[in-house]
Amino acid sequence: MKTIIKKPLITEKNTLHQAAGVYVFEVNKEASKTDIKATVERNFKVKVAAVRTANARGRAKQTKFGMGKTPHWKKAFVKLAAGEKITVFEGA
């Protein structure tokens, strides 16, 4: 079984999204929106209203051995139903 959600993305911009009930996660590149929705609902016991995904391209990076590249990755914007919260993000 593959891991769908790799980690939550906690940045200043994503923290502002949380006020609107949108949480951002780094997910597996092959994960579909329905997979992501089912995983979030099962793991956090919340109702998901919508899921948007974005593919982030890897960037060129200078290393001491020459030019390298970071891998491509995918992120998911999960909007919860009205009144729902994920308490892990609040620190409780």
Can you give the pLDDT of all 92 residues of the chain as single tens digits?
Answer: 479 999 999 999 999 999 999 999 999 999 999 999 999 999 999 999 999 999 999 999 998 999 999 999 999 999 999 999 998 777 65
- Nearest Cα residue to 74 out of 41, 39, 28: 28
Instruction: Identify each DSSP E strand in the chain by its residue range.
Output: 5-8, 22-27, 48-56, 60-63, 66-69, 73-80
The identity of residue 26, as a single letter, is E
Domain annotation for the chain: domains and CATH numbers: 5-84 (3.30.70.330)
Tell me, yes or no, if the pTM score tops 0.95: no
Q: Which residue from 92, 67, 70, 88 is spatially nearest to 24, judged by alpha carbons? A: 88
Q: Find where tokens 């502002």 sit.
A: 16
